[in-house]
Each structure stands twice: as C-alpha cells, then as structure tokens.
Structure 1
Amino acid sequence: MAFKIVWPESAIKQLQKLERPIANRVFAKVDELKENPHRFLTKVVGSECFRLRIGDYRVLVDIDKSTITVLKIGHRKNIYN
C-alpha cells in the first residue's frame, strides 16, 4: 500500500530555503517514504510525530492511515526548538 505525501505550504517554504542539493536529497528521501515509511522513521520522544534523518537535516512528519504529512524541515540543531 503506497502512502500519499502531503506538503503543506509551510513545509514547502522551509524546503525552498535549503540549498538546492540538500533540498533535492530531502525531497527524494521523503518520496521514498511512500512505500514503507516505518523503515526510515523514528518516533520523536514526547511527541506524536516521527523524524526522518537526512545527514545533518531532519524532517518531522505525521502519519495517518494512508497519508504522510510533512510538518517541519530543518537542521538538526534547530529542528526541535
């Protein structure tokens, strides 16, 4: 079962602020979540969301039955603030 990826406007703006090669890596890795999201995701302690690690960058996502919503994208030192 393939999941649908939802990119809210706020996540798109955060993606656009990244350097092009990093943004491309983030987009490609998030796209890989469609087939098996739990393979790459780790639950965030004290939260209902999950994190995806891409080098020094993190993507926070929420998972429903068939939808993955991108919540936040940023550098690992700033993402949890």
Structure 2
Amino acid sequence: MYQIEYSKQSIRVLRRMPTNTAMLIRSRIETVAQDPFAAPGVKKLVGRDGYRLRVGDWRVLYFLDGQRLRVLVTEIGPRGGIYQ
C-alpha cells in the first residue's frame, strides 16, 4: 500500500469544500493508495507527468513515487480550471 502525502494547496482546498465532498475525495484517494493502477477514474496525464483522479465534477492531480511507495497529491479542483 502506498502512503498518501498532500500538498499545502490540496489541504487548503479540502478544508474549504463541503465535508461530504471532502470525505468522498479522501476515500477515493485511499482507494488509489491501495492499488494505484486499478483504481476507477484514474488516467495518465497527457503532456506532463502524473495522473488524474475523477471524483464527480472534481479532479485530483497526483504523482506516484514508486521507489518510496508514495502518492503525492498536488492539486484538487473543479473540472474546468484544474488543468491550467
């Protein structure tokens, strides 16, 4: 199982969103930590490193560190502006 690490920006976004949405996103990130390549809603990003996790209208961008077995969550945001 991979460890989960959050960036300061992603923690800030999780704290400001509704509790039920934040809990759903965290549970989906935990699913990714258990098996990063078989989790539903995960795709490799095109044009840059990393992966994205789709949770309803929200997107979670993250990197996998295979050597240290870490999931590094870098950004969480609504679908429209997360890729900019």
TM-score normalised to the size of structure 1?
Answer: 0.91
Over the aligned positions, Cα root-mean-square deviation in angstroms equals 1.0
- Quote the residue 2:6 is aligned against: 7
Take 2:61 and 2:38, find their aligned partners in 1: how far apart are those partners? 15
Supply the AA of the counterpart residue of 2:77. G
Take 2:31 and 2:21, find their aligned partners in 1: how far apart are those partners? 15
Gaps of at least 5 residues in structure 1 are: none
TM-score normalised to the size of structure 2?
Answer: 0.88
Question: Where do 1:29-48 residues align within 5 Å?
Answer: 29-40=28-39, 41-48=42-49
- Quote the residue 1:72 is aligned against: 75
Report sequence identity in percent.
29
Instruction: For residue 8 of structure 1, report the CA deviation from its aligned partner.
Output: 2.1
SS in 2 for 1:37: coil
Contact 2:7–2:75 (CA<8 Å) still a contact in 1?
no
Take 2:15 and 2:53, find their aligned partners in 1: how far apart are those partners? 18
Gaps of at least 5 residues in structure 2 are: none
Runs ≥4 residues deviating over 3 A = none
User: After the TM superposition, which of the residue ranges 68-77 and 16-25 deviates more from structure 2?
Assistant: 16-25
Take 2:56 and 2:15, find their aligned partners in 1: how far apart are those partners? 18
Question: Does 2:57 match 1:56?
Answer: yes
